[in-house]
Amino acid sequence: MKSNISFHSAVGKELQSPDLGRFYKRNGHKGRIQLNDHCIWLTLEEEIVAATRLSTITEQNITELSELIILRGLWVGKQHRGLGLGSLLLNKILTQQITQEVTLYCFAYESAIPFYKKHGFKTATESAPSFLLQKQKAYYNRGSKTQLMAYSR
């Protein structure tokens, strides 16, 4: 099956079709694609089966790091879960998007923490940028069971 999988990539404002947004909505993800998100998705016979968005934060927004990327909405279609597609997509990102100068952060749902740990993510500590720690606290206060995690080389 993996030989039939195709990778696609575009910056949010370059997307010519609403298919990616529909994929997220159909599979239960509530996030919206932002204009500058780097979207990466997998298709199987022209059907989107997995997708994610990367948001780059640069120096002008924070002072703690030169650059960081936030992984948002790593989602696999309901009927395609358990086939390794999430790992396939995440490994592609980790090998092609993340350099030694960049840290990748995500807010992992409690059930996904083992998945991210398996791929080398660690629980982010107080050394994470303050705006991300504040966002984590806000999620917690709203009752969201997520954990701020980080990946760096």
How many Cβ atoms from other residues are within 10 Å of residue 124's Cβ? 20
pLDDT tens across the length of the chain (153 residues): 566 899 999 987 777 667 888 888 888 877 778 888 899 999 998 899 999 999 988 644 455 445 789 999 899 999 999 999 999 999 999 998 887 778 899 999 999 999 999 999 999 987 788 889 988 999 999 998 899 999 988
Look at the chain and report how many structural domains it folds into.
1
H helix runs in 35-150, sequence order: 85-96, 113-118, 130-141
Q: Is the dihedral of CA 107, 120, 131, 143 positive or negative?
A: positive
**CATH number (domain holding residue 145):** 3.40.630.30
Asked whether the beta carbons of 55 and 37 are under 8 A apart, the reply is yes
pLDDT of amino acid 64: 47
* pLDDT score for 66: 55
Structural domain range at position 14? 2-151
User: In the chain, what is the greatest distance between 2 CA atoms, to the nearest angstrom?
Assistant: 44
Name the strands in the sheet holding 5-11, side by side, starting at the edge strand that comes first in the sequence. 5-11, 38-44, 47-58, 67-76, 103-109, 146-151, 122-123
* Residue 92 to residue 134: CA distance in whole angstroms: 29
Q: What is the pLDDT of residue 129?
A: 87
Q: Which two tokens stand for residue 7?
A: 């990778």
